[in-house]
Structure 1
Amino acid sequence: MHRRALLGGALAAPRIVRAQGTNQARAIRVVNAYGAGGTADIVCRLLFGRLSERTGQSYVVENRPGAAGTIAASVVARAPPDGATLLYDATAHSVNPALFGPKLPYDTRRDFLPVFLSLVTPNTILGSKFFAPRTVPELIAAARAAPGTIDAGTSGIGSAQHITLALFNAMAGVQINHVVYRDAPAARNDMVTGRIQLQSSNVPGSVGHVGAGTARVIAHTGREAVPVLPGVPAVAETLPGFETYEWNGVFLPAGTPEEIRRGLNAALNATAAEPAIAAKLVALGGLVRPNTPEEFTDFLDGQSALHGRVVREANIRAD
């Protein structure tokens, strides 16, 4: 991760520019790869709702969830490169090339232009209140003492949380079982009630447990302290170099004129920098600062390399 651009000092906020050189009477279609109510949907609607107000250009969010984001991405990959159709995608975009290989119906590098990295948030390890280990060293010790007896739920094969669990197993030298659920709330319910001991989650899905006391946030997977999880340590304090994130971002179809890409990036940076919007992103555990298309591309390259390595070494399969 490029900390200077994404987790470090803020870049100068760009002036507001019209996001597209298109007719403002025509609505811009934002194809969201995830369902209503999740983190990606919340951030997408927050940004594009405010962007519509700022620019007078209508942005219409269309949720097209399914198949690890490939349904929405396929739609946008085939769209005319005129700025009228955008893709709002997340971590799966950097996992899918390794997960699906030649079966992927598009090329993530060839068919899309990265525009704006809208959210980066660490993942977390949540522990049931009925589970004795309270720290990462205690969790590792318990897993080594009884291999294959601890279960951790995630929302899907190849998800950011699955990647986190697989990397934890590899770096800690343990065998924590991966239990796949239809969605994160289903995994959370079983973890809270003690049917499974752990959930590999993200910061937005973990914050509520801090005040409610329904589960323990054992650790987060970022490098720096997470303000909305006070006192929660990083996994890297025990396993140096451990770092995983869930991210959201905006893409255009390849071939879209560069002036459209730059205008949209500038407008999204300006929108995300508004105090009210920035505060809501921080409340979700967001660590992003203003970024350029080049910085987003560099970030994607790093994430794709990490995710590809974990998928191969853990032998993660989509089927």
Structure 2
Amino acid sequence: MNRRTLLATALLAPALARAEGRTLRVVNAYSAGGTADVVCRILCAALGPRLGLSVVVENRPGAAGTIAAQVVARAAADSTTLLYDATAHSVNPALFGPRLPYDTRRDLLPVFLAMVTPNTLMATNAFPVQTVPELIALAKSRPAEIACATTGIGTAQHVSLELLNHMAGIGIAHVAYREMASARNDLTAGRIPLQFSNVPNTLPLLQSGQVRCIALTGPAPLDILPGVPVFADTLSGYETWEWNGFFAPANTPSGLIRDYNAALNAVIAEPPVLERLTGLGALTRANTAEEFNTFREQQITFFAGMVKTANIRID
């Protein structure tokens, strides 16, 4: 083992060491095959051997991630259950309000920020627009006639669309799909002209030549998407991200959270893991649980403003 691996292993506290040989259940809030599932399984496959645990990923999709979150919020605060959630986690407090069956801040403790990635706006090859200014001009000339797919109300992609509408003064119609595969199929078949997605889901479609990417929602271009500009070039300050992370039930000992955080930081530094995540366009960085908590607070605040501004509602 290298020095970094030895250090990470040495940091594991007795509480986690006593869990060796047990099963860690990671409840994934999203369906199999999507970005959150792929990244989660890459990380968990490396996490198990590092901790001496059998790690089982359990997909519990539905209701914008609240089904899985509720399962973990009610779980015992021990070493056997974690939640793997994504951007909707920080949208749901504003989206559901008092109907949310748990308290996001109180019941789910940040453990580790697994990845961030910009969103993308994809278009069919037949769509008569190449750039963001051209899209804005077309949308203004055809109010409410252009439709854009996302994977659901309140998702990072939905917020990206509403932020575009708000900042550009246009009204591209939102079409919410239940899953990425259905939206992707309708886009590639030409049944819908636009789709907000994320980088990992965009890459294979671009590489196959089935779609074009008009712009990214991050602040700067990505090497993995050469030639694709950012919305901020046209709309100053425009920026949205999709993220994934691990959470623990309330009252989980802080030492145990630090142990998992140290192990996951070591996992993303492993060359095979880093290579796979980089190839997906999933951006990783070392982070503490405290830093992830600060990030979550920033995201909750941002999305609360967007839900109000865009009048986003879920029935």
TM-score normalised according to structure 2 size: 0.94
**Contact 1:31 / 1:61 at 8 angstroms: preserved in 2?**
yes
Q: Quote the residue 1:184 is aligned against.
A: 180
Q: Percent identity?
A: 56
Stretch of structure 1 that moved more, 166-175 or 55-64: 55-64
**Contact 1:22 / 1:83 at 8 angstroms: preserved in 2?**
no
Runs ≥4 in structure 1, deviation > 6 angstroms? none
Deviation, structure 1 residue 282: 1.2
Partner SS state of residue 248, structure 1? strand
**Contact 2:20 / 2:51 at 8 angstroms: preserved in 1?**
no
Partner SS state of residue 277, structure 1? helix
**Contact 2:29 / 2:67 at 8 angstroms: preserved in 1?**
yes
**Contact 1:116 / 1:296 at 8 angstroms: preserved in 2?**
yes
**Contact 2:112 / 2:246 at 8 angstroms: preserved in 1?**
yes
**Contact 1:31 / 1:62 at 8 angstroms: preserved in 2?**
yes
**Contact 2:21 / 2:52 at 8 angstroms: preserved in 1?**
no
Stretch of structure 1 that moved more, 192-201 or 134-143: 192-201
Q: Quote the residue 2:192 is aligned against.
A: 196
Q: Quote the residue 1:266 is aligned against.
A: 262
Q: 1:66 aligns with which of 56, 62, 69?
A: 62
Q: Quote the residue 2:146 is aligned against.
A: 150
1:117 equivalenced with 2:110 (yes/no): no
CA distance in 1, matches of 2:205, 2:71: 37
CA distance in 1, matches of 2:220, 2:17: 39
Stretch of structure 1 that moved more, 98-107 or 206-215: 206-215
Deviation, structure 1 residue 288: 2.2
1:225 equivalenced with 2:218 (yes/no): no
**Contact 1:210 / 1:229 at 8 angstroms: preserved in 2?**
no
Alignment RMSD, CA only? 1.4
Number of residue equivalences = 308
Partner SS state of residue 15, structure 1? helix
Structure 1: stretches of 5+ with no match in the other structure: 1-11
**Contact 2:30 / 2:37 at 8 angstroms: preserved in 1?**
yes
Partner SS state of residue 8, structure 2? coil
Q: 2:72 aligns with which of 70, 73, 76?
A: 76
Partner SS state of residue 298, structure 1? helix
Partner SS state of residue 175, structure 1? coil
1:35 equivalenced with 2:31 (yes/no): yes
1:254 equivalenced with 2:250 (yes/no): yes
CA distance in 2, matches of 1:23, 1:191: 46
Amino acid at match of 1:265: N
Deviation, structure 1 residue 221: 0.5
1:282 equivalenced with 2:275 (yes/no): no
Amino acid at match of 1:24: E
Q: Quote the residue 1:99 is aligned against.
A: 95
Partner SS state of residue 276, structure 1? helix
CA distance in 1, matches of 2:23, 2:83: 14
Deviation, structure 1 residue 275: 1.2
Amino acid at match of 2:217: T
**Contact 1:88 / 1:248 at 8 angstroms: preserved in 2?**
yes
Q: Quote the residue 1:6 is aligned against.
A: none
**Contact 2:268 / 2:284 at 8 angstroms: preserved in 1?**
no
Partner SS state of residue 270, structure 1? helix
Deviation, structure 1 residue 194: 2.1
CA distance in 2, matches of 1:191, 1:184: 11
CA distance in 1, matches of 2:173, 2:23: 46
**Contact 1:92 / 1:159 at 8 angstroms: preserved in 2?**
yes
Structure 2: stretches of 5+ with no match in the other structure: none
Amino acid at match of 2:124: S
